[in-house]
Amino acid sequence: MKKLLISLLLVIFSFSIVHAGLIYTDTKTPVSAASGERGVRLGTSQATTFLWAFTIGDASIDTAARKSNVGSISHVDSKDFCILGIPGLCLYGVKTTEVYGR
């Protein structure tokens, strides 16, 4: 049983290294884009994770658009910041959604 548990932990650890930095992650990736002009307004929304177990906040596209009165969205980016873990399962992490539009 102990060997099985160790093997399972090694597999999980190896997959987490492939995805992102296990100790520190700070990435920005596109979520979606529409053809046309780049938006001049920027709206953001965030959710925060801590202690590998708790997440609070609203990182939705709708919330980001409402915060800055963006009516027509041109594109959306996502930022992940994570210390000790992978995005979504961190000692401390922040997920930010950036909405650009008019």
Give the start-to-end residue ranges of the domains of the chain: 21-101
pLDDT(56) > 90: yes
CA distance 100 to 102: 7
Residue found under tokens 């930010």: 96
Q: What is the pTM of this model?
A: 0.72
The mean per-residue pLDDT over the stretch 50-59 comes to 91
Residue 100 has what pLDDT?
A: 92
What is the SS3 string spanning the chain? CHHHHHHHHHHHHHHHHHHCCCCEEEEEEEEEECCCCCCCEEEEEEEEEECCCEEEECCCHHHHHHHCCCCCEEEEEEEEEEEEEECCEEEEEEEEEEEEEC
Give the residue with greater pLDDT, 38 vs 1: 1
Residue found under tokens 């800055």: 68
